[in-house]
Structure 1
Amino acid sequence: MDVHSSANHRQMDYNLDNMDAKHGKGLLCPEDRFDSGVDSLKEDEDLSREFGDMSMDPTEPVSEEYEPWRAAVTEDGDTLLHLSIIHEATEKAQHLIRLSYNHSFLNIQNHQRQTALHLAVITEQPQLLDQLLKAGADPLLVDNSGNTPLHIACKRGSLTCFGVITQNCQRRLTSILSAYNYSGHNCLHLASVNGYISLVESLIRLGADINAQEPCSGRTALHLAVDHQNPTLVCCLLNLGADVNCLNYGGFTPYHLTFGRHNNEIRSQLYDRTSQELRDMPDSESDDSDMEGLSEDEVYDDIKFGK
């Protein structure tokens, strides 16, 4: 990468070869990226010197003119703000945010399409997350998996980051809660898959559609709770008003997903609530006794979706 020089601006001594050698080169996948840079900061005593050469004076007014440091990126597409968040250089990140209030710099996406907001959630820095949102960062931008920052908070079970995002985004909350990632999951689906009961309750209280269906399979949160054999979540969703008679795209109710499974608690919770005409498997005259003696794969394989 070339960093533009200017006679009027002292530049950060930015050497990508050194950065690669010290911090690791090539962040290959979103899961790996969740932890990138955080541990290396604790071992790298020279990081502060690299950030220290940035030519920004906090006493100077914010300029609308081109600033070279805003265009500086690594070969992974990370800006100085991305790097500050990854390495938990909080003061530097706060300085950059102050200089970029309502500026498009806050929404630059790296090569994994992660914004500063995504990285603040991944590194669990709610204070920076709050400052970014108040400065105008866009919570609807998605990474290369289609995840908004709230998707990531729900996937990771971060109640603190969840609270910061939802409190700062009241006017856009409906859009955020209804957004699907590229796997066909909204925030409620992700919280359900991972068994985060508190997040499930909070999402529904905030207006998430409890019966929203995955676009790829038609499963609801209740289907997913049964799929993952989570009786506590099944009970929670039933108490919150989940529709037990909702059919996925294969024509199966949540109760149907108990066939071939051994959790009688889940089955008993759903049986009485499910309409009588929907208790038998679709296109089958068999009753529950017909399923006895069959393995789970024999019974359930045809009704697994989106796994």
Structure 2
Amino acid sequence: MELYRGSNTNQMDYNEDGRGPKSGKMLVSNDDRLDSGLDSLKEDECTDVESAFERMKVAEDEPWKKELTGDGDTYLHLAVIHEATEAAIKMINLSYGDPFLNIQNNQRQTALHLAVVTGQPLLVEQLLKAGCDASLVDDHGNTALHITCRKGSLACFSLLTQGCPQQLPAILQTPNYNGQKCIHVVAIQGYLSLLESLIQLGADINAQEQCNGRTALHLAVDLQNFELVKLLITKGADVHSFTYGGHMPYHLTYGRANTDIQKVLYELTAPHLRELPDSESEDSDEDYEDQCISDDEDIYDDIKVMGQV
């Protein structure tokens, strides 16, 4: 589901990619990691995963739980990647409370991460019910909720926030390796409804991302998203919050095209704090992008099941 987002002319995006050592036996994978994999799948790949699982699950020692691809994927990872939903649900039902559910591949992705990346809310729901740990992070420090906030899946967002109530407060406070909490990811994407939901769920509206101390309001100004600026102010965002370089949201309006944002923040900013600090260059967009920006793709293994199993 595509969520409504405010206008965002300078939108930045983040991905869940990475590289890992090649290890493991029996299953062979392609080297490339492709965006969601859906366009690159062949019809027989889903069948291959299901067939291999059916051949192995009859054994009492459950060998399908022990096999890994060269990229560290289990059969459950493969079933999620290739949307072999029936096989995935069978594996989940056979693994309630089992650490198998939380095995991380070479990119430190669990099956839950991949279910979110591929947009499969049914599997997200089943994994959470079976005991999958929603607080685990991938090799970019992203929880499954970080990824959902970036992709804007309302269904996955609802399942993740309702399906792990005890873990949720800690997840909302977890920064990824770009220093961003979920509220920062949602602000960057401009998902207004998800931002409201995060605040209602207890996310700190004035949390500072760790690159340079920007809050969601700073990011909204940077991205020239007037609707997001108005929403954050309405929800109580602190207009006097300083970045590590000493800049408040109003300071970031200098040299920007949207005069409506500047007018609103001018009125709300204390007169004696409106002047730019001396360290004007410390919070430049270029510095921010160098520190935090990543490619605009979700990436994971596109895998075929081959060889003996």
- TM class by smaller structure: 0.7 to 0.9
* Aligned twin of 1:133: 128
* Aligned twin of 2:192: 197
1:156 aligns with 2:161: no
The residue correspondences of 1:12-31 to structure 2 (distance < 5 A) are: 16=28, 20=29, 25-28=30-33
* Aligned twin of 1:74: 69
- 107, 117, 134: which is aligned to 1:112? 107
* Aligned twin of 1:244: 239
CA gap 1:46/1:242 in 2 versus in 1, 3 angstroms: closer
Query: Which residue identity does 2:183 align to in structure 1?
Result: L
Residues of 2 paired with 1:283 and 1:100: CA distance? 58
Give CA-to-partner distance per residue, 1:87-123, whole Å, 9 cap, x none. Answer: 0000000000001110011001111111000000001
1:275 aligns with 2:264: no
* Aligned twin of 2:47: 48
- 161, 166, 190: which is aligned to 2:161? 166
Per-residue deviation at 1:268?
1.0
Query: Which residue identity does 1:277 align to in structure 2?
Result: H
Query: Which residue identity does 2:162 align to in structure 1?
Result: Q
Residues of 2 paired with 1:248 and 1:56: CA distance? 55
* Aligned twin of 2:36: 35
Give CA-to-partner distance per residue, 1:238-261, whole Å, 9 cap, x none. Answer: 000000001111111000000011
Query: Which residue identity does 2:288 align to in structure 1?
Result: G
Residues of 2 paired with 1:228 and 1:78: CA distance? 37
> Contact 2:95 / 2:130 at 8 angstroms: preserved in 1?
yes
Give CA-to-partner distance per residue, 1:205-227, whole Å, 9 cap, x none. Answer: 11100000012211000000000
CA gap 1:50/1:131 in 2 versus in 1, 3 angstroms: closer
Structure of greater Rg: 1
Residues of 1 paired with 2:270 and 2:153: CA distance? 37
Residues of 2 paired with 1:135 and 1:112: CA distance? 22
Uncovered stretches (5+) of structure 1, i.e. residues with no partner: 4-13, 285-298
CA gap 1:302/1:134 in 2 versus in 1, 3 angstroms: closer
- 262, 281, 284: which is aligned to 1:303? 284
1:263 aligns with 2:245: no
Residues of 1 paired with 2:222 and 2:199: CA distance? 20
Residues of 2 paired with 1:157 and 1:88: CA distance? 20
Per-residue deviation at 1:265?
0.8
Query: Which residue identity does 1:52 align to in structure 2?
Result: S
Q: Residue 170 of structure 2 aligns to a residue in which SS?
A: helix
> Contact 1:250 / 1:303 at 8 angstroms: preserved in 2?
no
Per-residue deviation at 1:56?
2.1
Query: Which residue identity does 1:166 align to in structure 2?
Result: T
TM-score normalised according to structure 1 size? 0.81
Residues of 2 paired with 1:105 and 1:214: CA distance? 33
Residues of 1 paired with 2:283 and 2:238: CA distance? 22
TM-score normalised according to structure 2 size? 0.80
Residues of 2 paired with 1:2 and 1:148: CA distance? 25
Per-residue deviation at 1:44?
2.9
